Amino acid sequence: MKRQPWLHTRKKTDAEWPIEPPIFLGDRSNGEFFHATTPLERRIRREILERADASARRLGMDRREFLASAMGMCTSLAVLNVASGCTSGSDSSAGGGSNGSDTDGGYSIPDAALLDDAAADAALAGGEFILDMQTHHIEDAEVWQRRHPNGVYGGNVFASFITLYDCTPKAAECIGPDTYVDLVFLQSDTTVAVLSGFPSQMCDDGNMCTNLNDNEGMVLTRDRVNAAAGGTQRMVQHCQVAPNDRWDLQAAVMEKIRSTHGNHGWKVYPPWAPGGGGWWLDDPVIADPFLEKAKALGEPIVCAHKGFPLPSFDPVYTDPKDVGPAAKKHPDIKFIVYHSAFATGVTEGPYDPDGGGVDRLVRTVMENDLTGKNVYAEMGSAWVLVMNNPLAAQHYVGKLLKYLGEDNILWGSECVWFGSPQPQIEAFRRLEISTELQDAHGYPALTAARRAKIFGLNAAKLYGIDPRATRTAVDKGALAEWKRELDGELGARRWSLVGPQGPRSRREFDDLVRFKRAARKIG
């Protein structure tokens, strides 16, 4: 039986690896919302651990070893099927359980993958070109301080949760650039990542001097990563813009970043304003000068945060109702709606014209006749929250396929806040939309071709990236070679027992909320 060597590299003084499923079932947050573990998730966790224990004993394995293996992931997805009603039942006495393959919806897991490592590896494998549209980190403290000699590291209102708890002896290590490279590129199948920033008030010198990953910092990371990858294109970056904060300075920043460094897309946070409130994408006074500038600079791609409100955001402006009118008014601009306008507390089901969550995005697209046109749904955080409910996951993906179009859905993970994106990738690889839901709601099937588009081909087309040439170069690059060496020495599933990187308890999240509110008053 294949082992996971990384499980045995800990020192005697190190804490034991946890005995947990390889999917996120506990409290988790990206700093914008807090998801508290539900009673159903607690039952799912118990069932996964019970099945893992039975299967591990049957195979003569350690339980951690089993959970960290591909079999552990397949077992976890199979239990999600049962909990969501996507399978007829289970046979725990077999040491594995039903995989949900007796119906054609949810996660398709072959029986053999529950007890055979090679079969499980094959089931979860894929050679897709994966372009992750939403990744984040904060900048290394020493580098940031050199670039902002008069700044206070950790003072940024929107990336401040590093000041609230220590993941390691050096707090920033858990969400800093080194961890980012490790989790995103060395512990996942991600081909190219887009680094995105945070909203922050512009300082008088035209720099975001309180932002822990400002525009210059994102350029620095992009160049470092691509250099470490042997000059191949593993990363592109946004330019962060706040058109409601001294537009003359913002416009100058756009010109500087575009002409000096280049960027792929402009990231905006409409629910944010320096003194509270927000702005709309169809506002002729605030939005139109910004949108025209984006076109004039030759990068007509606008990535707008919609959905989850950060604790200091105005939730009114998280509504995507302005997306349709703005896209119709500016057909030559591509509008990428981050998080697909997903909302916590809303269980995704069939499209409801009066519904919340993703239905709001569908509604504005339908009202403005934009299916297959210039509005795109990005999956970051939405997918990681919906993936534990295979039925809701089918509705979420099915609605986007039907109403936005198969060319208008973009993969995103919002890592490193959620650790490695690999569990999200493996779950999406196995998702199928049942024929029952297809017939009832007009959803297209989630075929391999459509999945490949979502994983990266759509974004590659949007960004003018040649997937085949880029993938060929990437596979020969130094970073890819390093990953292969680490996988061979330590095992490829080093991410499997590492949890999310954001606030991990209600107390930590509440501390973050209070900190942000206090910082806003001070600012």
CA distance 280 to 321: 9
End-to-end CA distance of the chain: 58
Placement of tokens 């590093």 in the chain: 162
E strand or H helix that includes residue 64? helix 63-68
Return d(Cα 129, Cα 108) in angstroms, integer: 21
**What are the beta bridge partners of residue 194?**
236
Q: Which residue in 284, 282, 319 sits closest to 302, CA to CA?
A: 282
> Does residue 190 contact residue 132 with C-beta atoms inside 8 Å?
yes
- Report the DSSP pairing between strands 409-410 and 34-35: unpaired
**In sequence order, what are the residues at sequence separation of 6 or more whose Cβ sits closer than 8 angstroms to the Cβ of residue 254?**
239, 241, 266, 293, 294, 297
Query: What integer pLDDT is reported at residue 190 of this predicted model?
Result: 98
pLDDT given for residue 509 in this prediction: 55
DSSP state of 38: P
Candidates 34, 175, 135, 513; CA nearest to 338 is 135
> Which residue type sits at 77?
L
AA letter at 14: D
pLDDT at position 257 is 96
Quick one: pLDDT at residue 501? Answer: 57
Number of other residues whose CB lies within 10 A of the CB of residue 378: 30
Q: 432-468: per-residue pLDDT in tens? A: 999 999 999 999 999 999 999 999 999 999 999 999 9
Asked whether 295 and 332 are in contact (CB, 8 A), the reply is yes
Q: Is the pTM of this model over 0.85?
A: yes
Q: Are 414 and 135 in contact (CB under 8 A)?
A: yes
Amino acid, single-letter form, for residue 90: S
CA distance 21 to 497: 7
User: What is the structure's pLDDT at 505?
Assistant: 58
User: pLDDT value at position 309?
Assistant: 83
Range 190-200 burial, b when 16+ CB lie within 10 A, else e: bbbbbbbbbbb
Q: Distance (Å, rounded) from C-alpha 196 to C-alpha 492?
A: 26
> Per the structure block, which two tokens stand in for 433?
């939309």
CA 374 to centroid of chain Cα atoms: 21
pLDDT at 25: 85
| Phi, psi angles (nearest 5°) of residue 301 | -125, 115
Helices 247-256 and 287-296, interaxial angle, to 10°?
20
Low-confidence ranges of the chain (pLDDT < 70): 1-2, 27-35, 87-103, 152-174, 204-210, 499-523
Q: Extract the tokens encoding 184.
A: 């995103």
